[in-house]
Amino acid sequence: MSLAEDMEVLRSIPLFAKIEPAKLKLLAFTSERLSYISGDEICREGEAGDAAYIILDGEADISVATNNGPMTVATLGKNDIIGEIAVLCDVPRTATVTAKTDLETLKVAKDNFFQLVTQFPQIGIQVMHELADRLHHTTQDLTKAKAKLAALDG
Protein backbone atom coordinates (compact mmCIF):
# COMPACT_ATOMS: atom_id res chain seq x y z
CA MET A 1 0.00 0.00 0.00
CA SER A 2 1.59 3.19 -1.10
CA LEU A 3 0.74 6.71 -2.00
CA ALA A 4 1.37 6.05 -5.69
CA GLU A 5 -1.14 3.18 -5.72
CA ASP A 6 -3.74 5.27 -3.94
CA MET A 7 -3.23 8.01 -6.44
CA GLU A 8 -3.87 5.60 -9.32
CA VAL A 9 -7.08 4.44 -7.65
CA LEU A 10 -8.28 8.01 -7.29
CA ARG A 11 -7.52 8.64 -10.94
CA SER A 12 -9.79 5.75 -11.93
CA ILE A 13 -12.76 7.53 -10.34
CA PRO A 14 -14.41 9.78 -12.96
CA LEU A 15 -15.06 12.55 -10.43
CA PHE A 16 -11.34 12.88 -9.67
CA ALA A 17 -9.97 11.72 -12.99
CA LYS A 18 -9.34 15.14 -14.45
CA ILE A 19 -7.51 16.56 -11.44
CA GLU A 20 -3.84 17.23 -12.22
CA PRO A 21 -1.41 14.64 -10.76
CA ALA A 22 0.29 16.87 -8.16
CA LYS A 23 -3.02 17.77 -6.53
CA LEU A 24 -4.29 14.24 -6.80
CA LYS A 25 -1.24 13.11 -4.88
CA LEU A 26 -2.02 15.61 -2.14
CA LEU A 27 -5.61 14.34 -2.03
CA ALA A 28 -4.29 10.79 -1.77
CA PHE A 29 -1.92 11.80 1.02
CA THR A 30 -4.69 13.41 3.02
CA SER A 31 -7.04 10.48 2.45
CA GLU A 32 -7.08 7.57 4.82
CA ARG A 33 -6.87 3.84 4.26
CA LEU A 34 -9.55 2.06 6.28
CA SER A 35 -10.12 -1.69 6.61
CA TYR A 36 -13.41 -3.25 7.60
CA ILE A 37 -14.11 -6.85 8.38
CA SER A 38 -17.04 -8.56 6.84
CA GLY A 39 -20.26 -7.45 8.51
CA ASP A 40 -18.97 -3.99 9.55
CA GLU A 41 -21.18 -1.09 8.71
CA ILE A 42 -19.51 1.61 6.62
CA CYS A 43 -22.34 4.07 6.67
CA ARG A 44 -25.99 4.06 7.62
CA GLU A 45 -29.01 5.34 5.75
CA GLY A 46 -30.19 8.71 7.05
CA GLU A 47 -26.93 9.66 8.76
CA ALA A 48 -25.08 12.78 7.69
CA GLY A 49 -22.41 11.88 5.15
CA ASP A 50 -18.96 13.35 5.63
CA ALA A 51 -16.81 11.21 3.34
CA ALA A 52 -16.70 9.07 0.23
CA TYR A 53 -15.13 5.60 0.25
CA ILE A 54 -13.37 3.98 -2.68
CA ILE A 55 -13.23 0.21 -2.53
CA LEU A 56 -9.68 -1.03 -2.99
CA ASP A 57 -10.42 -4.65 -2.29
CA GLY A 58 -13.46 -6.74 -1.32
CA GLU A 59 -17.19 -6.26 -1.77
CA ALA A 60 -19.86 -4.20 -0.05
CA ASP A 61 -23.65 -4.52 0.02
CA ILE A 62 -25.88 -1.50 -0.50
CA SER A 63 -29.19 -1.87 1.29
CA VAL A 64 -32.22 0.35 1.90
CA ALA A 65 -34.83 0.09 4.61
CA THR A 66 -38.21 -1.18 3.46
CA ASN A 67 -41.36 -2.07 5.31
CA ASN A 68 -40.17 -5.68 5.26
CA GLY A 69 -36.76 -4.85 6.70
CA PRO A 70 -33.52 -4.02 4.91
CA MET A 71 -33.29 -4.96 1.26
CA THR A 72 -30.00 -5.30 -0.59
CA VAL A 73 -30.23 -3.36 -3.81
CA ALA A 74 -26.69 -3.67 -5.14
CA THR A 75 -23.24 -5.01 -4.44
CA LEU A 76 -20.14 -2.91 -5.10
CA GLY A 77 -16.64 -4.16 -5.81
CA LYS A 78 -13.10 -3.00 -6.48
CA ASN A 79 -12.72 0.63 -7.63
CA ASP A 80 -16.38 1.41 -6.98
CA ILE A 81 -17.08 4.54 -5.00
CA ILE A 82 -19.45 4.76 -2.04
CA GLY A 83 -21.21 8.02 -1.15
CA GLU A 84 -19.60 10.06 -3.86
CA ILE A 85 -22.21 12.77 -3.53
CA ALA A 86 -21.27 13.27 0.14
CA VAL A 87 -18.00 14.98 -0.74
CA LEU A 88 -19.91 17.53 -2.81
CA CYS A 89 -22.91 18.46 -0.75
CA ASP A 90 -24.67 17.90 2.57
CA VAL A 91 -27.14 15.12 1.99
CA PRO A 92 -28.02 12.29 4.33
CA ARG A 93 -26.83 8.83 3.29
CA THR A 94 -29.42 7.35 0.94
CA ALA A 95 -28.54 3.76 1.78
CA THR A 96 -26.77 1.61 4.30
CA VAL A 97 -23.47 0.09 3.20
CA THR A 98 -22.17 -3.07 4.83
CA ALA A 99 -18.94 -4.96 4.20
CA LYS A 100 -19.86 -8.20 2.45
CA THR A 101 -16.33 -9.54 2.64
CA ASP A 102 -13.31 -8.11 4.39
CA LEU A 103 -13.00 -4.72 2.85
CA GLU A 104 -10.17 -2.32 2.11
CA THR A 105 -11.16 1.27 1.35
CA LEU A 106 -9.70 4.68 0.77
CA LYS A 107 -11.64 7.31 2.67
CA VAL A 108 -11.82 10.79 1.13
CA ALA A 109 -13.17 13.17 3.77
CA LYS A 110 -15.44 15.97 2.61
CA ASP A 111 -13.52 18.57 4.64
CA ASN A 112 -10.22 17.63 3.05
CA PHE A 113 -11.68 17.62 -0.45
CA PHE A 114 -13.28 21.01 0.06
CA GLN A 115 -10.13 22.54 1.45
CA LEU A 116 -8.38 21.41 -1.69
CA VAL A 117 -11.07 22.87 -3.94
CA THR A 118 -11.09 26.18 -2.10
CA GLN A 119 -7.35 26.40 -2.43
CA PHE A 120 -7.13 25.36 -6.06
CA PRO A 121 -10.19 26.55 -7.97
CA GLN A 122 -9.08 24.72 -11.12
CA ILE A 123 -9.90 21.46 -9.35
CA GLY A 124 -13.39 22.83 -8.81
CA ILE A 125 -13.65 23.63 -12.50
CA GLN A 126 -12.54 20.11 -13.43
CA VAL A 127 -15.11 18.61 -11.07
CA MET A 128 -17.73 20.98 -12.48
CA HIS A 129 -16.94 19.80 -16.01
CA GLU A 130 -17.44 16.22 -14.97
CA LEU A 131 -20.71 17.00 -13.22
CA ALA A 132 -22.00 19.09 -16.12
CA ASP A 133 -21.17 16.21 -18.43
CA ARG A 134 -23.20 13.86 -16.29
CA LEU A 135 -26.05 16.35 -16.05
CA HIS A 136 -26.08 16.61 -19.81
CA HIS A 137 -26.36 12.83 -20.16
CA THR A 138 -29.03 12.64 -17.48
CA THR A 139 -31.02 15.39 -19.16
CA GLN A 140 -30.72 13.62 -22.51
CA ASP A 141 -31.88 10.38 -20.94
CA LEU A 142 -34.76 12.19 -19.33
CA THR A 143 -35.82 13.81 -22.59
CA LYS A 144 -35.72 10.45 -24.35
CA ALA A 145 -37.74 8.87 -21.56
CA LYS A 146 -40.31 11.67 -21.69
CA ALA A 147 -40.56 11.27 -25.47
CA LYS A 148 -41.14 7.54 -25.02
CA LEU A 149 -43.78 8.22 -22.38
CA ALA A 150 -45.50 10.71 -24.65
CA ALA A 151 -45.44 8.14 -27.49
CA LEU A 152 -46.99 5.53 -25.21
CA ASP A 153 -49.68 7.93 -24.01
CA GLY A 154 -50.37 9.15 -27.51
Partner 1 sequence: MDRSIFGYILRYSKTAQLILLGLTVASFPFLYVSLELPKMIINDAMASRDGGRFFGYELDQVSYLFTLCGVFLILVLVNGAFKYVINVYKGTVGERMLRRLRYELYSRIMRFPLPHFRRTSQGELVQMITAEVEPLGGFISQAFSLPAYQGGTLLTILFFMFAQDPILGIAAIILYPLQIWIIPKLQRQVNLLGKARVRQVRRIAERIGETSQGVRDIRANDTTQYERARFAKELGVIFNIRLQIYKKKFFIKFLNNFLAQLAPFFFYSIGGYLVIQGDLTLGALVAVIGAHEKLYAPWKELLSYYQLMSDARIKYEQVVSQFDPIGLRDEQLQSADADQPLVLSDTNLVASNLTIATEDGAATLDGASFQVGLPSRIAIVGPTGAGKEDLTLVLANLLSPDNGRVLIGGEELAKLSESVTGRQITYVGYPAQIFSGTISDNLLFGLKNRPIRAAQLDGSDAEAHKRDLLEAKRSGNSEFDADADWVDFSTVGITPEESLLPAAERALTKVHLDRDVYQMGLRGTVDPETQTDLADAILRARKAMGGRLEDPKLGRLVEVFGPDDYNTNATLAENLLFGAPIGDSLQIEHLASQAYVQDVLERSGLTETLIEVGYKLASTMVELFADLPPDHDYFRQFSFISAEDLPDYRTLVGRIDASQLQGLNAEDRERLLALTFKLIPARHRLGLVEEELQAKIVKARHLFREQLPSELATAVSFFDPDQYTIGASIQDNILFGKIAYGQAQANERIGDLITTVLADLDLRGRVIQVGLQAEVGVGGSRLSLPQRQKLALARALLKRPDVLVAYDPTSPLDPNEQLAVIDNLVQEFEGRTLIWSLNRIDWAERFDHVIVMRQGRIVEQGAFSELNRDGSALHALVAAE
**What does the binding site for partner 1 look like in residue numbers (CB under 8 A)?**
1-4, 6, 22, 25-26, 29-30, 32-37, 40, 42, 115, 119-120
Decide: 35 and 99 in contact? Cβ < 8 Å. no
Q: How many residues does the chain have?
A: 154
d(CA 16, CA 21): 10
Q: Nearer Cβ to partner 1, position 29 or 137?
A: 29
Minimum CB–partner distance for residue 1 and partner 1 (Å): 6
Element (H, E) at 146: helix 121-153
Decide: 106 and 31 in contact? Cβ < 8 Å. yes
Q: Give the 3-state secondary structure of residue 75.
A: strand
Minimum CB–partner distance for residue 64 and partner 1 (Å): 22
Minimum CB–partner distance for residue 109 and partner 1 (Å): 10
Q: Nearer Cβ to partner 1, position 15 or 28?
A: 28
Minimum CB–partner distance for residue 153 and partner 1 (Å): 50
Decide: 73 and 64 in contact? Cβ < 8 Å. yes
